């Protein structure tokens, strides 16, 4: 019997990765959904006996999808595939009825193992058709369904239906389209960066949750190819609304270099201190100690997440304190002549029940784009 | 743990440390061919170990003035003595980008270097180790201080 499988993730790359990681000899009918709203709709249309669900999505996130499934008693078996790997995220989704939790980036062995263990997928005993045939027969159906699922966004180019996994339109993003310059970022690429950032962010968030013993709310990372002036504006904005402290740290690998910036609202120090069991005294040294601890954890694990996925290794320079002596935006202003554009990955962590807000920016130089794009091309293939 | 395996472990740690330390390390033979290149050098130059092994230093890094370098190195080989260069004398040996491309204001990485003689078992200096330190921040501070009050440094 053909299993109706629904993959619900806002990232095109992630959907492809999941679809590729399915067991070879599984007789499935795959549909895709871009966000929770589409996912629920597809389940109601009977397209999701089995649901592979991401957690961080726009419109309606994975938790809300699980709640809706529970509330409306929808007939689907859910396995969560997420970059958010905090133990508490795992507990929460299990409490909401998910069968299991798989860490991103997903791989075939793990996914097969989980599917087997819940009896969702059983190895066929008699192989009447060849594997390739089955796969092909499932594919066009998936494309058709995909079209139905996503046609609320925009008409799908029908000539592409031959390659079903590539049809999915780009998830709607609230970011501005990149400007036309020498180097541009295709929406496919942006999606790819976003997914990489998503996994890296999850790793860092997990560590943060462990040291603070809290639940970290993970956002959808913002990926933009921006002008230096835009970055300056963004930083000015942060500075003007609240007083902040920051740490920056350079990183470099063959052909890829950039800087990580960690910006923490000064008002967050007290809460962070109590969570980390520091005796908080309002002096610069405790604050710096805290800031450095956070920076080490977040910058280090985020870079590690990126470097593992791209199969590179970064050297990290010594961190530098920003804002204590100079304004962040001024620092960048000094260099306006040296570089014009940067690939910026912006992640805003917030912590449940605490007014702590902390921004992590990964800025890659324009020069790095070539190498990065080459590395990504391997991943998309 | 047996003695042998603990020694192996120590060697492994040493290698790991040298590879990851935030300082450039290069070993050259007497013909200035590169023998070892650590992670710092790999990442900043963008060259892989297999691309540099056995290659002549001056061919890979055109920015190094050969005559000047050989003169320094010769004295190290001959005198079995360390030699130093500082950024004020020559801002860099290897032309690398600044470690902080976004918030740093330097156009390149300022470097201090040490030339270290490596003795063979026979007591001769067969190889030379280059140690490259990133001193960009120092250089930038000193330069901006000079701009503000030139006399403060004299």
Rounded distance between C-alpha atoms, residue A172 and residue A190, angstroms: 12
Whether residue A338 lies within 8 A of chain B, CB to CB, comes out as yes
pLDDT at A135: 45
Whether residue A325 lies within 8 A of chain B, CB to CB, comes out as no
Residue A133 in any domain: the answer is: yes
Here the CATH number for the domain that contains residue A53 is 3.40.50.2300
Q: Which residues of B touch A334 (CB under 8 A)?
A: 105
Residue pair A185/A250 in contact by the 8 Å Cβ criterion = no
Alpha-carbon torsion (B92, B19, A104, A189), positive or negative:
positive
Order across the sheet with A100-103: list the strands: A28-33, A3-8, A50-53, A77-82, A100-103
- Are A191 and A277 contained in the same domain? yes
Here the CATH number for the domain that contains residue A213 is 3.40.1550.10
Which of A106, A135, A166 is a domain's end point? A166
- Are A224 and A156 contained in the same domain? no
**CA of A190 to nearest chain B CA: how many angstroms apart?**
21
Residue A176 in any domain: the answer is: no
- Are A338 and A251 contained in the same domain? yes
Nearest neighbour of B43 by CB, restricted to A249, A252, A363: A252
Q: Do A315 and B103 touch (CB under 8 A)?
A: no
Q: What is the DSSP string of A241-302?
A: HS-EEEEEEEEEETTEEEEEEEEEEGGGHHHHHHHTT----SSHHHHHHHHHHHHHHHHHHH
Q: Do A335 and B137 touch (CB under 8 A)?
A: no
Give the nearest chain A residue to B39 (CA atoms): A315
Q: Hey, what CATH topology would domain B3-153 get?
A: Beta-Lactamase (3.30.450)
Which of A114, A135, A166 is a domain's end point? A166
pLDDT, one tens digit per residue, over B65-81 is 999 999 999 999 988 88
List of chain A residues with pLDDT < 70: 124-185, 234, 237-242, 280-284, 323-339, 381
Residue A175 in any domain: the answer is: no
pLDDT at A181: 43
- Are A141 and A64 contained in the same domain? yes
Which of A131, A166, A201 is a domain's end point? A166
Q: Is the peptide bond before A308 cis (omega within 30 degrees of 0)?
A: no
Residue A181 in any domain: the answer is: no
- Are A148 and A206 contained in the same domain? no
- Are A316 and A209 contained in the same domain? yes
pLDDT, one tens digit per residue, over B5-30 is 888 899 999 999 999 999 999 999 99
Whether residue A369 lies within 8 A of chain B, CB to CB, comes out as no
Averaged pLDDT, B32-50: 92
pLDDT, one tens digit per residue, over B83-138 is 999 999 999 999 998 888 877 778 899 999 999 999 988 888 999 999 999 999 88
- Are A218 and A361 contained in the same domain? yes
Q: Do A254 and B98 touch (CB under 8 A)?
A: no
Give the nearest chain A residue to B20 (CA atoms): A315
- Name the residue range of residue A250's domain: 187-380
- Are A146 and A193 contained in the same domain? no
Query: Taking the C-alpha atoms of B99, B103, B104 and B106 in order, what is their torsion angle to the nearest 10 degrees?
Result: 110
**CA of B39 to nearest chain A CA: how many angstroms apart?**
7
ipTM: 0.81
- Are A193 and A340 contained in the same domain? yes
Residue A106 in any domain: the answer is: yes
Residue A182 in any domain: the answer is: no
Give the containing element (helix H, strand E) for A332: helix A328-333
Q: Do A332 and B103 touch (CB under 8 A)?
A: yes
pTM attached to this predicted model = 0.74
Whether residue A295 lies within 8 A of chain B, CB to CB, comes out as no
- Are A135 and A37 contained in the same domain? yes
Residue pair B151/B100 in contact by the 8 Å Cβ criterion = no
Residue A134 in any domain: the answer is: yes
- Are A244 and A364 contained in the same domain? yes
- Residue B129: C-alpha distances to residues A61, A135, B16, B47, B56 (Å): 56, 58, 17, 18, 14
Taking any CB pair shorter than 8 Å as contact, residues of chain B touching chain A are 20, 22, 39-40, 42-48, 97-105, 107, 134, 137
Q: Do A259 and B100 touch (CB under 8 A)?
A: yes
Q: Where are the domains of chain B?
A: 3-153
Residue A194 in any domain: the answer is: yes
Helix residue ranges, H only, A21-105:
36-44, 62-72, 87-95
Total number of domains constituting chain A: 2
- Are A140 and A289 contained in the same domain? no
């Amino acid at each position: 019997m053909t299993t109706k499988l629904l993959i619900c993730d806002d990232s095109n790359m992630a959907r492809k990765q999941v679809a590729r990681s399915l067991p070879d000899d599984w007789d499935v009918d795959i549909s895709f959904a871009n966000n929770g709203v589409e996912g629920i709709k597809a389940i109601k249309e009977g397209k999701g006996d089995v649901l592979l669900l991401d957690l961080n999505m726009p419109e309606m996130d994975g938790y809300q999808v699980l709640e809706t499934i529970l509330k409306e008693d929808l007939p689907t078996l859910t396995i969560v595939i997420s970059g958010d790997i905090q133990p508490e995220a795992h507990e929460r989704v299990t409490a909401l009825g998910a069968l299991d939790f798989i860490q991103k980036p997903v791989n075939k062995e793990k996914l097969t193992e989980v599917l087997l263990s819940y009896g969702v997928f059983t190895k066929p005993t008699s192989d009447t058709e060849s594997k390739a045939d089955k796969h092909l027969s499932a594919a066009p159906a998936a494309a058709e369904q995909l079209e139905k699922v996503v046609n609320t966004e925009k008409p799908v180019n029908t000539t592409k239906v031959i390659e079903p996994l590539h049809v999915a339109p780009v998830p709607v993003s609230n970011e501005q389209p990149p400007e036309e310059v020498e180097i541009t970022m295709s929406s496919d690429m942006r999606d790819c960066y976003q997914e990489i950032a998503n996994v890296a962010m999850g790793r860092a968030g997990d560590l943060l949750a462990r040291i603070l013993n809290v639940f970290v709310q993970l956002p959808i990372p913002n990926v933009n190819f921006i002008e230096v002036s835009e970055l300056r504006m963004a930083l000015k904005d942060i500075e003007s609304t609240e007083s902040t402290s920051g740490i920056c740290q350079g990183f470099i690998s063959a052909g890829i270099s950039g800087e990580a910036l960690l910006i923490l609202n000064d008002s967050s120090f007290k809460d962070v201190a109590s969570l980390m069991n520091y005796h908080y005294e309002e002096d610069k040294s405790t604050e710096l100690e805290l800031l450095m601890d956070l920076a080490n954890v977040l910058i280090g694990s985020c870079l590690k997440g990126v470097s593992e996925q791209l199969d590179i290794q970064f050297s990290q320079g010594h961190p530098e304190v920003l804002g204590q002596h100079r304004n962040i935006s001024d620092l960048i202003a000094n260099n306006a002549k040296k570089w014009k554009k940067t690939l910026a990955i912006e992640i805003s962590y917030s912590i449940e029940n605490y007014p702590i807000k902390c921004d992590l920016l990964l800025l890659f130089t324009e020069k790095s784009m070539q190498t990065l794009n080459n590395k990504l091309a391997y991943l998309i293939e | 743990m047996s003695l042998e395996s603990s020694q192996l472990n120590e060697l492994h740690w040493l290698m790991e440390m040298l590879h990851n330390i935030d300082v450039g390390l290069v070993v050259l033979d007497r013909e200035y061919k590169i023998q070892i290149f650590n992670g710092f050098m790999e990442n900043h130059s963008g060259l892989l170990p297999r691309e540099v092994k056995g290659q002549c230093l001056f061919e890979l890094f055109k920015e190094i003035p050969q005559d000047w370098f050989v003169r320094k190195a010769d004295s190290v080989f001959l005198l079995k003595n360390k030699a130093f260069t500082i950024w004020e004398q020559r801002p860099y040996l290897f032309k690398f980008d600044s470690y902080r491309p976004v918030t740093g204001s330097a156009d390149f990485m300022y470097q201090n270097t040490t030339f270290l003689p490596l003795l063979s078992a026979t007591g001769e200096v067969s190889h030379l180790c280059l140690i490259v330190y990133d001193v960009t921040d120092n250089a930038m501070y000193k330069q901006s201080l000079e701009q503000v009050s030139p006399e403060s440094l004299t």
